Amino acid sequence: MVLEFEKPIADLEQKLQEMKDLAKGRNIDLSADIESLEEKIQNLKKETFENLTRWQRVQLSRHADRPYALDYIYEITNDFIELHGDRSVKDDKAMIGGLGDIDGRTVMFIGQQKGRNTKQRQERNFGMANPEGYRKALRLMKMAEKFGKPIVTLIDTPGAFPGLEAEERGQGEAIARNLKEMFMLKVPVICIIIGEGASGGALGIAIGDRVFMLENTWYSVISPESCSSILWRSWDYKEQAAEALKLTANDMKGNGLIDDIIPEPLGGAHRDLKTMSETIKDTILKTLKELDKQKPEKRIDQRIEKFCSMGVVVE
């Protein structure tokens, strides 16, 4: 899949491959031309991805090849055991979680999971969790707290499932309970937005001691398309909506809503899963080392203060 703004890069990469094939097939020395074209591609990539609009970053966060939660978990951990069910209704496959080992340390991973093909997307409900998904997440968080294991959440959802049946089973209550309970968890909690971070569906697993965003992700109360449809009665103004929402990682850090930005490989996380996973792993280990120095009561107080200080109150 090639996004519109990536087409000039893709065209040059195709020419580069053709040049390499020609040099190999006819035994011609084109090393100087190949090197020159490679340098041109690299410069174009830097220029393109350093100057992306907010809407282009939204598009990149939804790229069909972009890694999902389980992709990162399997790369980061030496051994991952997925846990299932909320012990009440069913196992929500849009919300995944389990215990994984990182360099000898056990961590509870929780995250939203999307699908690669039509069947998987239906099975995962496009990453939109039902109430039982949030209740499963809370059950795993409480399990982690009981055994003194840190929690890492990976956020990637267009929002909680808005269907009637979800509301009948208490969607709002499930998310609200997660918000309340996550503030009081005694173990370290790290939240990382790896794709889309929309509305309460994202916030339901995003209350933590440290909140990070990958470079090409977005975090907002509403998607640009939905915002456009409300304000302009049309999806045609989604680019303007994205600009107005200020939903990128740079915007969020500038407004003090996240702690830091995790850089992605040039071209996006989907270009190099291993490098991206190593960067996330290093961030997790470094952050846990910092949080381990604090007593649980201190962490809880700082966590509450962190979120209570967000926004502006006008009396």
Q: Over the stretch 7-38, which tens digit does the pLDDT of each residue have?
A: 999 999 999 888 888 878 787 877 888 889 98
Task: Report the run of H or E that residue 157 belongs to, with start and end.
Answer: strand 151-157
Residue 315's pLDDT band (cuts 50, 70, 90): confident
40-80 residue pLDDT tens: 999 999 999 999 999 999 999 999 999 999 999 999 999 99
What length is written for the chain? Answer: 315
Tokens of 51: 């100057």
Answer whether residue 268 shows pLDDT above 90: yes
| Cα–Cα distance measured from residue 249 to residue 297, given in angstroms and rounded to the nearest whole number | 29
- Within 8 A by CB and 6+ apart from 72, the residues are 154, 194, 276, 277, 280
Name the CATH topology of 58-309: 2-enoyl-CoA Hydratase; Chain A, domain 1 (3.90.226)
- Output the pTM of the full model: 0.93
pLDDT, residue 27, reads: 79
End-to-end CA distance of the chain: 50
76-106 residue pLDDT tens: 999 999 999 999 999 999 999 999 999 999 9
Domain ranges in the chain are 4-51, 58-309
pLDDT, residue 21, reads: 84
